[in-house]
Every structure is written in structure tokens, then in C-alpha cells.
Structure 1
């Protein structure tokens, strides 16, 4: 019997946004990523922008705040984190609703879920395959740079400079790690959280997809 739920935790530059949909297509499942903060926003009654501000995959969100606070020795990482001049729910409410969306998605037909500590949230879910995509920093940097869209009106060779890609990779790594550690006391790179850990920077995308599909069908 094939797994009806596949969670994918992907380090920045490890190809999660490409590999996830491909796995979903092979398994005949939905790919769920952007839909999660949209559903959370609808449930809480806030804007999508406010929900994204608390999402682990947002360019600017709670993970960035936690990661920034962790670098300051005088800042406590308690749940007193707040957003000035914004009357919106506390971060833990967004996380609670995110967990609820993940559980409902798993129970109602399944899906391939990207990010948001889904492997931790669904650790006890029967029939779920948990996958981690990672790779050496230099190869993740190369992949991220290659996937960056060219600036409007300029040739493809004028992609984001390496130093900017490095900053993006480091910021994303810190933020996603801070999110999982703060709310779940876990390290997203811990191999014990997953059935399958793949260096997706060292394999072609089709091979990575095939490994995950085979594992899901064998579960």
C-alpha cells in the first residue's frame, strides 16, 4: 500500500519546490505548500500577508524574528514575541492553525506537504513517509543561483550575485531551523525525524523523485 502522505523538509537550494510537485504527480496526490498559509488566514480571519509573516517559508516571518533574536544574548525566546502596531493573533495561534491544516490534509485524501515541520507534526501518522532533502552548502548555493530568475530586461547571465545567494541561503537556513527548534524543540536536519534523507544536490531531480516514489509505495 502506498503512503498517502509524504512530508518533505528541504534545506534552501535542495530543490524542494521542484521535487515536491514531481513526487505528488507521480503518486497522484496534491502538492500542498502555498495553500497552507492561505487556509490559516481564512480560519483566523487575517490577511494572507499576516499569515505569511508567521510562516516558516516566508521571506520575512516568525522564523526570521526568532533567528535574529537568537543571535542577541539579551533577548529571550519566549512567546512574548509581538509585531508592533499590528493587532493580530500571537505566533502560537498561527502555528496551532497550521498544525490543524496539516492534520486535516493528511486525513482527507493525503498530500505531499512541503516544510512547516510536517514531519514532526505528523510523526505518529500511520502511512506517512517523511523525507529530508539536503546537500553540501556549496552545491546548494550553486543550485539556488542557477534557479534564480534573471532580472527583468537583462540577460540570464546577470543572475543574483553569489554574495546575495549566500545571504539568502544562510537567512533561510537559520529561519527554518529557528522555527522548528522554537516551536517543537527539534532540529529539522536531525535524520531521526525521517525515513529517507537524500542529498538532492548530488542526484538528478528525476532520480531523487524516483527514490521518494519507490519509498512511498513500499511503506
Structure 2
């Protein structure tokens, strides 16, 4: 899609830009990328953010010694998305882009979706993997993205009201999806 529109596909550049803004490692930014802590992990990560460290039985405040809260990564991810969208535009994947860029002039919000069985078959075929592996991958990605959007934005990422266009890319061939999106993008210019 990015190639067709002549704009960058910035998916993999986002965590690097967030890491640079926060002054943390790329690995730490990737660990928070498009993810929300759930259940016990959320409770434990909250406890880890308490601003004290124990040395020899003495609690001491050590600024910057503990991991940044997930909200800080989200805030910087939003900043990176809005800056790239405003400066050069691009094709963004995930990261609640339809919500973050809802007010961005000229931004087209598209959701590719389909029934799970067809998504599994398509992913297995395109990814050269078994249907079992494809199902696991899809379930993990869907759960992580849904948790991220619901936790940080309090909306359902599958709600069609978040998008200008929702396409079943398992029924409509990918090249036709690209053309539909390109046509829709010209309507917003």
C-alpha cells in the first residue's frame, strides 16, 4: 500500500523513534509496542514502578532506575505517529492509529478484517506456516492489540465507527484491496 501511494511504511521505525525520544533501549520500546499489560502482569508492572530501590535493607529513591510506565511509551508513540503523519505521511500499522490520528486531516482509517477461519487459512498460505501456527499468531496479535486499544483508549478496535473503510481481505484479492484503499485515499485529499 505504501509503495502504491508513494509514502513510507513506518511500522518498524516507530519503536526506534520512541526509544530515541525516551532515551531507552530499542528492546524496551519493542516490549511495550502495541501491547498492554494484563492481569497479574499489570499488577506486577505497577508495583515495579514504585520509586524506591532497596540497598542493604534501606529504601532509597533512585530516579530513572526503574522501568518507565507503559503510559509513557504510549504517549511517545502517539507523538511519533502524529509527527510523522503531519510531516511526511505514511502507512501506519496498528498502534491505535485510527484513534490517535482521528483528527488528522487527510488520514484514511482502514481495517482489514475477516472471519477467523479465513484469516487463519490466508495467514498460513501467505506466511508459509501451518494453520495451527497461523491461528496462534493471529490469536496472540488480536489479543494484544485489543487489550492495548481497550486499555489505553477505552474503545473497541473492531468498532467500524473508528474506520472510513473496512475490507475483507480474504475475499477481496490483496491487489484489489490496495486499489480500493488508494481510491478512497484520493477522496480525502
TM class by shorter chain equals: 0.7 to 0.9
TM-superposed CA distance for 1:201, in Å, is 1.0
Aligned partner of 1:54 in structure 2 is 32
Match of 1:45 among 8, 11, 23: 23
Indicate how the Cα distance of structure 1 residues 213 and 47 shifts in structure 2: closer, same or farther if over 3 A, else same: same
SS in 2 for 1:32: coil
Q: Does 1:171 align with 2:171?
A: no
Match of 1:128 among 89, 107, 115: 107
Report if aligned partners of 2:48, 2:66 keep a CA contact under 8 Å in 1: no
In our comparison, the structure showing a higher alpha carbon Rg is 2
Supply the distance in 2 between the matched residues of 1:77 and 1:213 (Cα, whole angstroms). Answer: 43
- Residue ranges of structure 1 left out of the alignment (5+ in a row): 1-22, 57-61, 150-158
Supply the distance in 1 between the matched residues of 2:106 and 2:5 (Cα, whole angstroms). Answer: 14
- Residue ranges of structure 2 left out of the alignment (5+ in a row): 54-64
Aligned partner of 1:25 in structure 2 is 3
Report if aligned partners of 1:133, 1:200 keep a CA contact under 8 Å in 2: yes
Match of 1:89 among 68, 73, 84: 68
SS in 2 for 1:115: coil
Supply the distance in 2 between the matched residues of 1:202 and 1:43 (Cα, whole angstroms). Answer: 41
| TM-score normalised over the length of structure 1 | 0.73
| TM-score normalised over the length of structure 2 | 0.84
Which 4+ runs in 1 deviate beyond 4 A?
A: 75-79
